[in-house]
Amino acid sequence: MSIKPILFEDDVLKMLDQRLLPTREVWLEYRDYRAVAEAIRTMVVRGAPAIGVAAAFGAALGAREIFAASFDDFMREFEEVCAVLAATRPTAVNLFWALERMKSCARQHAQLAGSDLKQRLLAEALEIAAEDERRNRALGGHGEKLIPDGARILTHCNAGALATAGYGTALGVIRAAVEAGKKVAVLADETRPWLQGARLTAWELQRDAIPVTLICDNMAGYLMSKGEIDCVIVGADRIAANGDTANKIGTYTVAVLAREHGLPFYVAAPTSTIDLSLVDGSAIPIEERAPAEVTHIGGVQLAPEGAAVRNPAFDVTPARLITAIITERGVATSDFPARLRELVAGS
- Check binding of 157 to ligand MRU (CB under 6 A): yes
- Check binding of 37 to ligand MRU (CB under 6 A): no
- CA-to-CA distance for 135 and 142, rounded, in angstroms? 11
Residue nearest to ligand MRU (CB): 235
- Check binding of 323 to ligand MRU (CB under 6 A): no
- Check binding of 313 to ligand MRU (CB under 6 A): yes
**Cβ nearer to ligand MRU, comparing 121 with 234:** 234
> Is 230 a residue of the active site?
no
- Check binding of 6 to ligand MRU (CB under 6 A): no
- Check binding of 48 to ligand MRU (CB under 6 A): yes
β-pairing, 296-297 with 300-301? Answer: antiparallel
x/- letters, 92..111, toward ligand MRU (CB under 6 A): x-------------------
- Residue 270: which of 146, 139, 172 has the closest Cα? 139
Helices H / strands E in the chain, number of each: 12, 16
**Cβ nearer to ligand MRU, comparing 92 with 205:** 92
- Check binding of 317 to ligand MRU (CB under 6 A): no
> Which of 46-54, 60-68, 173-181, 325-333 is the region at the interface with ligand MRU (rule: CB under 6 A)?
46-54
Total number of residues that touch ligand MRU (CB under 6 A): 17
- CA-to-CA distance for 313 and 250, rounded, in angstroms? 9
Helix spans in the chain (H): 33-41, 48-64, 71-86, 93-108, 114-143, 170-179, 196, 202-207, 220-225, 251-260, 292-295, 336-345
Instruction: Give ∠ CA 187-193-195 in degrees, rounded to 5.
Output: 40
Cβ at position 163, least distance to ligand MRU in Å: 3
Determine how many CB atoms are found less than 10 A away from the CB of residue 277. 9
**Cβ nearer to ligand MRU, comparing 117 with 187:** 187
- Check binding of 159 to ligand MRU (CB under 6 A): yes
- Check binding of 81 to ligand MRU (CB under 6 A): no
- Check binding of 55 to ligand MRU (CB under 6 A): no
Q: Which of 49, 62, 193, 197 binds ligand MRU (CB under 6 A)?
A: 49
- Check binding of 238 to ligand MRU (CB under 6 A): no
- CA-to-CA distance for 276 and 263, rounded, in angstroms? 27
- Check binding of 236 to ligand MRU (CB under 6 A): yes
209 — alpha (psi -120 to 50), left (phi > 0) or beta?
A: left
Cβ at position 239, least distance to ligand MRU in Å: 11
Instruction: Give ∠ CA 255-261-267 in degrees, rounded to 5.
Output: 30
One-letter identity of residue 274: I
- Residue 226: which of 195, 187, 199 has the closest Cα? 187
Q: Which of 163, 202, 316, 326 binds ligand MRU (CB under 6 A)?
A: 163
- CA-to-CA distance for 109 and 123, rounded, in angstroms? 12
Residues engaged in binding ligand MRU (CB under 6 A): 46-49, 92, 157, 159, 163-164, 169, 196, 235-237, 247-248, 313
